[in-house]
Amino acid sequence: MEEIKNYFNSNAINIPKEINFQEHILFFKNENNKDFNNIEIPNENIMLKMKRKRGRKKVNLNNNKEHNKFSQDNLFRKLKCILFNSLMKYDNDVICKVYNNNIGKGIFKKQIFKINHEQIYSSDTDFNRNLLDKTQGEIFSENITTKFSNYPLSHNKDLIESLLNESDEEKREKFTKLFNKTFLECIQHIRGSKKISELEGLEKVFKKELSGIHDETNYINELKNLINNYEKICYNKIARKKKEKR
């Protein structure tokens, strides 16, 4: 096929885009053109390969808009992961203190486990806006990851319900205040724009989680800048129009 193209180019033959190579080769053969007598006519499969390829464009590595870890969606996911880990560790610390480290064993263990990754990795605009108003109780009541195969998927939900229905009034009140705090309130407390007594110490847990990232200063600064403008970015981001299912 390359031989055919080179022949047309070298002889300054202009071929329209809608050209049918099969017809042209037959024409030249019929004219006893020696250059084409030994060339086979391309089959349909070969002709299809000559058509323009469709699909996603190749990533241009020299493009300044390269999608990488500094892209906003990736920064959001990373920050949400750090925030969720911070909240989970903080809540478990509170539970341990309330029960003087006597939190039980096995399926009755009073410990919150990591939830499935849907809430963390979702980049859906509406989802992330609604997440701001979700309480800790709602967030951690999702199914836990299948990594904890010895525990039911509803472990966190069952635990939180039991804590909110504690027979001890003082303990029940403490857990109610803790798990009724929204995701936005937790963010506000961490960055210091709103102090919440029930979340005292959470900012230290977050700072420790953030310092655990072994990355360049610029990346950590981007995460800090993101948490300072988290809800603004969520509300200013334009939601994509969802495709209608046929």
pLDDT tens per residue across span 85-127:
999 999 999 999 999 999 999 889 999 999 988 888 888 889 9
> Quick one: pLDDT band at residue 59, thresholds 50, 70, 90?
very low
Of the listed ranges 20-24, 81-85, 124-128, 178-182, the one predicted with least confidence: 20-24
pTM over 0.75: no
Task: Examine the domain organization and report whether 24 and 108 are in the same domain.
Answer: no
Report the pLDDT value the prediction gives residue 106, as an integer from 0 to 100.
87
Please tell me the distance from the alpha carbon of residue 164 to that of residue 179, in angstroms, as a whole number: 8
Residue 106 DSSP label: G
- 2-24 mean pLDDT: 54
**Cα separations in angstroms, 191 against 69, 132, 183, 246:** 22, 15, 13, 45
Query: In this predicted structure, what is the pLDDT of residue 216?
Result: 77
Helices (H), the chain: 2-10, 21-30, 34-37, 44-50, 72-98, 118-121, 125-132, 136-140, 155-164, 169-179, 183-191, 202-211, 217-228, 230-236
Q: List 182's β-bridge partners, or say none.
A: 135
User: Are 148 and 230 in the same domain?
Assistant: yes
> 6 and 87: one domain?
no
82 and 195, same domain (yes or no): yes
Q: Of the segments 65-74, 122-131, 158-167, which one has the largest average pLDDT value?
A: 158-167
Q: Are residues 107 and 228 in the same domain?
A: yes
What are the tens digits of pLDDT across the range 208-241? 999 888 777 888 899 999 999 999 988 887 665 5
State CA 223 to chain mean position distance.
Answer: 15
pLDDT for position 119: 84
The total of structural domains in the chain comes to 2
Q: Domain range for residue 33?
A: 2-50
Confidence at 6, pLDDT banded by 50, 70, 90: low
Q: Are residues 145 and 194 in the same domain?
A: yes
* Same domain flag for 41 and 144: no
Shared domain check, 104 and 42: no
* Percent of the chain whose predicted confidence (pLDDT) is above 70: 70
Residue type, 179: F
Q: What is the pLDDT of residue 67?
A: 80
| 26, 87: one domain | no
The pLDDT value recorded for residue 11 is 56
Q: In 32-168, which ranges are continuous DSSP H helix? A: 34-37, 44-50, 72-98, 118-121, 125-132, 136-140, 155-164
